Structures are given as C-alpha cells and as structure tokens.
Amino acid sequence: MLEILAITLPIFLLIGAGYTAARTGLLSRDNMQGVGTFVMYLALPSLIIRALTDHPLSEVFNPTYLLAYVLGSLAAFLLGLAISVGVRGKTLDAGAIHALGMSASNSGFIGYPVAMMAIGPPAAIFMALNMVVETLIIIPTALILAEASRQNGNGVGQVARQTLARLTRNPVLIGLLIGILLALTGLRLPGPLSQAVSMLADAAGPAALFTIGGMLHGLKVRGMAMDVSQVVLGKLFLHPLSVLGLFLLLPHPDPLLIAGGMLFASAPMISVYPLFGKQYGQGDTSAAGLMVSTLASFVTISLMIWLLTQFGLLPV
C-alpha cells in the first residue's frame, strides 16, 4: 500500500497545491486559466510530439489498444445515454452531457501523470491515442447529439460540420499531426528546438495537476445527488470496466496495454466538462461531477493500481 501511495500521493499533493493557491488568493482564476492555456497549447502538444518521435509508429499506433479503448469508451457513452434518457427520462441534450462525463477521461491532466508514475514512458503513447479517441469521437458525438436535441433534428449536418471545423484548430490534434509527420518522414527537430519541446513536455504533468486543483476551488455540490452520482460512478467504475471488457474480448492482449487502458479510463472526466455542461443547462451538475470525481479518484485510482498489481498486470 505504501508503494501504491508513493504513486498516487504526489499526484494529489500537486492537485492540493493548486487548490490551496486558488483558495488563498495566491493565484487568481485568470492566473489559473493562464496555466491551463500553457498546458493545453504548449506542454501537451510537445508531450505528444516527443512521444511520436521517440518511438516507431508501429509501436505508437497499437491497433489492439486503440480498438479496445475506442469501443470501451463508446460502450460507456451509450450506456450512460441509455440510463439518462431511457431509464431516468432526461432530455437528449442532458443525457448526452451525462454520457460525455461518463466516457471521456482527463487523459492529459490526470491520466498521464498517474500512468507515467505507474508504467513509465509508454504512458505518453497511450495518452496520445486516448486524446484522439476523446477529441475525434466521444466529444463530437456528445455535442452533436446535444445540439440536435436543441434544434429538434434540424441543422444537424451543419452542427457536425461546425464541430469538426473547431477540431481542426485543436492544439492537441495539431501536435499529433506534427508528430506523425515527423515520424513518417524521419525528420528530426533541430537540437535547440528538440530540447525546448522536451522541456515543455516535462512540464505537462505537474502544471496540469496544479491547474486541476485550482479549478476545483469554488465548485459546489447541491441538490443534484442523482445526476452527480450517475456521472461519477459511471466515470470511475463503468468506464474502466467497459474498457477491460473489450480488452478481454480480444485475443491475447498485452498486460501492459490492459494496465494502460485501465489507468486512463479510471481518471476523472475531462477538465472542460463543466464548460460543455453549461451550454446545455447542466453547468452545476457537470461542475459538481468534476469536483466529486476528482476527489474520489484518489481512492479509486489507488484501488485500481492495487488490483492491477494483484493480478500481475502492473509491477510496483
């Protein structure tokens, strides 16, 4: 247990440092947003570029991992949508936002730092693949469904085109394309530029965790127990189980792939989840879900690492 805490405790100490900085006024919300912008536009793209250029493409784009994570995440999304709309009678836009929170992990801000400490350098490769799944499949699907509900089915094609157009300006995807181009052509970044990219990549994990802590300050949970419980339980338990189920259906999955997929799927939902929720009347629920899942993940991620160790999937 001490070895497991040695992995998870530093992660949540950094989150606590960010929360403390925001609570004491050491950093304002604008300052914290600036740190988040640095992570999203510079540090994470640099991390992806380094991961893609330091490993052969055949190693990076592992079809087994990608297939299991895509289908597992979609299964969690569809189950979340069915629970919200079919069982609890929520509108399609509310159901889509609930499903988004249950199936889109915070791969860059929490998943990567945890996985890096647990499994080492392969974590960067898994993060790059997960971000493709989240930004190209899960998030667009949720937003298109939510917008379709608002427009009663009219203009769905236009909504889809606008969503995809916004994705082309996503810094993470731009970093992914640059990394793939460099890997395919065999080109290497000049020494000083490569060193700068590496330094930015090293800053991604700590800065991301600090930002998450700052974002938690001021979030409140009130009068929304059912919605928050569904989203949090779905994200921290249903999503990892769905990913595990898909891995077990595939022939002879590599234990490292299973461990990576489970660790990332166990992370709380994406940090921008409250922003999406606010657009569709789910702002309070999504903000509370982010806070509760982030705090609860200290226990659930520690438990996940222990279980992976017990089953021989993760040496500690």
**Residue 148 scores a pLDDT above 60:** yes
HSE-CB at 279 with a 13 A cutoff on CA atoms is 16
Placement of tokens 């629970």 in the chain? 83
pLDDT single digits (tens) 249-266 = 998 889 999 999 999 999
Cβ count near 265 (within 10 Å): 28
Identify the sign of the CA torsion 81, 82, 85, 89.
negative
pLDDT single digits (tens) 192-240 = 999 999 999 888 878 878 887 887 787 766 667 899 999 999 999 999 9
Token reading at 224: 């929304």
pLDDT at 43: 87
**Residue 153 scores a pLDDT above 60:** no
**Residue 243 scores a pLDDT above 90:** yes
pLDDT at 266: 95
Q: Name the class of domain 1-311.
A: mainly alpha
- Cα-based distances in Å from 55 to 59, 141, 255, 264: 6, 30, 19, 20
Question: Rounded CA gap, 206 and 194, in Å?
Answer: 20
Question: Rounded CA gap, 306 and 139, in Å?
Answer: 30
pLDDT single digits (tens) 154-195 = 556 676 777 667 667 778 778 878 888 888 888 888 889 999
Per-residue pLDDT, averaged over 24-35, amounts to 86
HSE-CB at 302 with a 13 A cutoff on CA atoms is 17
Strands (E), the chain: none
pLDDT at 277: 83
Chain centre to alpha carbon of residue 248: 22
Q: What is the pTM of this model?
A: 0.81
pLDDT at 296: 92
Helix, strand, or coil here: 251?
coil
Query: pLDDT: is 293 or 1 the higher one?
Result: 293
pLDDT at 173: 77
**Residue 96 scores a pLDDT above 80:** yes
Helix, strand, or coil here: 105?
strand
Asked if 135 and 170 count as a contact pair (C-beta separation under 8 A), the reply is yes
**Residue 107 scores a pLDDT above 60:** yes
